[in-house]
Structure 1
Amino acid sequence: MPADAPTILATSGGISSSDRLPWGIGALTRHAVDLAGTTGRAPRVCLLATAVGDDSGLIGTFYANAVAEGWQPSHLALFPMPNLDDVREHLLTRDVVWVWGGSVAGLLAMWRLHGLDEIFREAWQAGVVLTGVSAGSICWHSGGTTDSFGPELRPVTNGLGLLPHSNGVHYDSEPRRRPLFQRLIADGTLSPGYATDDGAGLLYRGTELVEALSERRRAGAYRVDRGPDGTAVETPLDVRRIS
C-alpha cells in the first residue's frame, strides 16, 4: 500500500551505531519505513548507494540490517551496469527508497544518465516513500552545498527539484556548511530552503514541509529565507523527537 501522499523524509541522519555491524538503522530511517504504511508483509526497502560508487561493503551491511529489521531488502546499483533488468518496475514496486550519502554531483549525473530523474518523480507521485541522508537528502531538493568537487564546499543547483526548496545538511557538524548555505540564499544562488543538524530530518507531504523530526537530542532544523535587505534570515523550526 503506497503512502497517502507523495512523501519525502530528507535527513542528516537515519544511521546509528551498532555492536555487530559497521553501522545500524536509525530512528529516522525506521520512521520513513513506517510512513509507507505496509501491513501484513515485510516492507520492501531499496537502497541506492550511487553516491559512493555502489560500495559493496556498504550494500552488504544494509542487507544485514534490513533482515534484522524484518524488511525485504533490495538495491539498485549502476556500476558497472544496472543490476536490475527493469529499473522502473523495481522502483515503482518498492515501499521505500533509501539513498545513501556521498557525492551528490556524481549521484545526480549518474541518475540522469540512466533516466532515474524521471523514474523517481513517477515513484514519488505513486506513493513510494523517498528518504536519504546527506547527498540522499539534497538530491530531492533544488540544490544545496556539496564537497563533491573537493574539500572547499561549493553550491549544487541541479537537484531533482521534486521539492522546490534548497537543502542544507550537516548544519551543526561541519562549520562551513551554515555560513555558505546562508550566503548562497542571500545572494540568490540557492532558493530559500531548509537545513538540518546531524540527527534531524524534514518530512514533506507533496512539496510542503509538514514536520521536522529528530533522532538525537538537541538536533535542530531551520528555515532559511532571503530577507528584504538581501541578507539571510534563519528561523529555527519546532522539532519532534522520535525513537
Structure 2
Amino acid sequence: MPAEQPTILATSGGLRSGSRTFLEFNKLIHFALDLSGVDGRTPRLCHVGTAGGDQRAMNANMTEAGRVAGVDVSVLNLFTMPPTDDLEDYVLSHDVIWVGGGSVANLLAVWEVHGLGAVFRKAWEAGVVLSGVSAGSICWHAGGATDSFGPDLRIVTNGLGFLPYGNGVHYDSEEQRRPKIHAAVAAGVLPTTYCTDDGVGLLYRGTELVEAVTERPGSGAYVVVREDSSATAQEEKLDTRVL
C-alpha cells in the first residue's frame, strides 16, 4: 500500500554504526518506511548511491543493514549501466527510495542522462516515499549549498524541484553551511530554504512541510527567508519532534 499522498523525507541523517554490522538503519530510515504504509509484508527499499559513485561496498553495507532491520534492500546502480531497460517499473516496485550522500552536482547530471527525474516524479505521485541524506535531500528541492566542486561551498540551483524551496544540510556540523545559505537567500539565488542539523529530517506531504523530526535530541530544523525590504536573510528555528 503506497503512502496516502506524495511524500518526501529529506534528511541529514538516517544511518548509524552497527553493533555487528558496519551500518544500521537509524530512526529516520525507519520513519520513512513507516510513512510508506507497508503492512503484512517485508518493506522494499531502493538504495540509490549515484552521488557516491555507486560504491559496491556501500551497496553491501546498505543491503546488510536492511537484513538486520527486516527490510528487502535493492540497489539502483547507474555505473556502468542501469540494471534494467525499464527504470520506471524498477523504481515503482519499491516502497521507499533512499538516496545516499556525496556529490549532488554529479548525481543530478547522471540522473538527467538517464531520465530519472521524470521516473522519480511518477514514483512520488504514485505514493513511493522519496527520501535520502545530504545530496539525497538537496536533490528533491530547487537547490542548495554543496561541496561537489571543492572545499569552498557553491550553490546549485538545478535540483529536481519537486519541492519549490532551497535546502541546507549538515547545518550544525559544517561551518560554511549557514552563511552560504543566508547569502544565497538574501541575494535571491535560492528561494525560501529549509535546513537541517545532523540527525534531522523534513517531512513534506505534497509540497507542504508538515513537520521536522529528529533521531538526535537537541538537533534542529530551520527556515531561512528573504526580507525584501533590506535584501537580507532571516532565520527561524522550527519545532522539531523527537522520533
TM-score, normalization by structure 1: 0.98
C-alpha separation in 2, matches of 1:241 and 1:217? 6
User: Would you say the 8 A contact 1:76–1:84 is kept in 2?
Assistant: no
Q: Indicate whether 1:231 and 2:232 are aligned.
A: yes
The SS at the match of 1:58 is helix
Q: Which amino acid aligns with 1:2?
A: P
User: Would you say the 8 A contact 1:11–1:200 is kept in 2?
Assistant: yes
Instruction: Look up the match of 1:144.
Output: 144
C-alpha separation in 2, matches of 1:56 and 1:20? 19
Instruction: Look up the match of 1:129.
Output: 129
Instruction: Look up the match of 1:26.
Output: 26
In the TM superposition, residue 84 of structure 1 has moved relative to its aligned partner by: 2.5
Q: Indicate whether 1:35 and 2:71 are aligned.
A: no
User: Would you say the 8 A contact 2:103–2:147 is kept in 1?
Assistant: yes
| 1:201-212 correspondence runs (5 A) | 201-212=201-212
In the TM superposition, residue 87 of structure 1 has moved relative to its aligned partner by: 1.2
C-alpha separation in 2, matches of 1:97 and 1:89? 13
Name the stretch that deviates more: 64-73 or 215-224: 64-73
C-alpha separation in 2, matches of 1:116 and 1:170? 25
In the TM superposition, residue 103 of structure 1 has moved relative to its aligned partner by: 0.2
In the TM superposition, residue 21 of structure 1 has moved relative to its aligned partner by: 2.4
Q: Which amino acid aligns with 1:41?
A: R
- Structure 1, residues 160-212: CA drift from partner, whole Å, max 9, x if none? 00000000000000000001001100001111110000000100000000000
CA RMSD of superposed structures (Å): 0.7
Q: Which amino acid aligns with 1:175?
A: E
C-alpha separation in 1, matches of 2:22 and 2:69? 16
In the TM superposition, residue 28 of structure 1 has moved relative to its aligned partner by: 0.5
Over the matched positions of the two proteins, sequence identity in percent amounts to: 56
C-alpha separation in 1, matches of 2:132 and 2:46? 11
Structure 2: give runs of 5+ residues left out of the alignment: none
Q: Which amino acid aligns with 1:239?
A: T
Instruction: Look up the match of 1:241.
Output: 242
In the TM superposition, residue 24 of structure 1 has moved relative to its aligned partner by: 1.5
In the TM superposition, residue 217 of structure 1 has moved relative to its aligned partner by: 1.5
The SS at the match of 1:189 is coil
Q: Indicate whether 1:215 and 2:215 are aligned.
A: yes
The SS at the match of 1:184 is helix
Instruction: Look up the match of 1:61.
Output: 61
The SS at the match of 1:47 is strand
TM-score, normalization by structure 2: 0.98
Number of residue pairs the alignment of both structures matches = 242
| 1:119-198 correspondence runs (5 A) | 119-198=119-198
Instruction: Look up the match of 2:82.
Output: 82
C-alpha separation in 1, matches of 2:21 and 2:67? 13
Q: Which amino acid aligns with 1:206?
A: G
In the TM superposition, residue 32 of structure 1 has moved relative to its aligned partner by: 0.2
Instruction: Look up the match of 1:13.
Output: 13
Structure 1: give runs of 5+ residues left out of the alignment: none
C-alpha separation in 1, matches of 2:22 and 2:148? 23
The SS at the match of 1:191 is coil
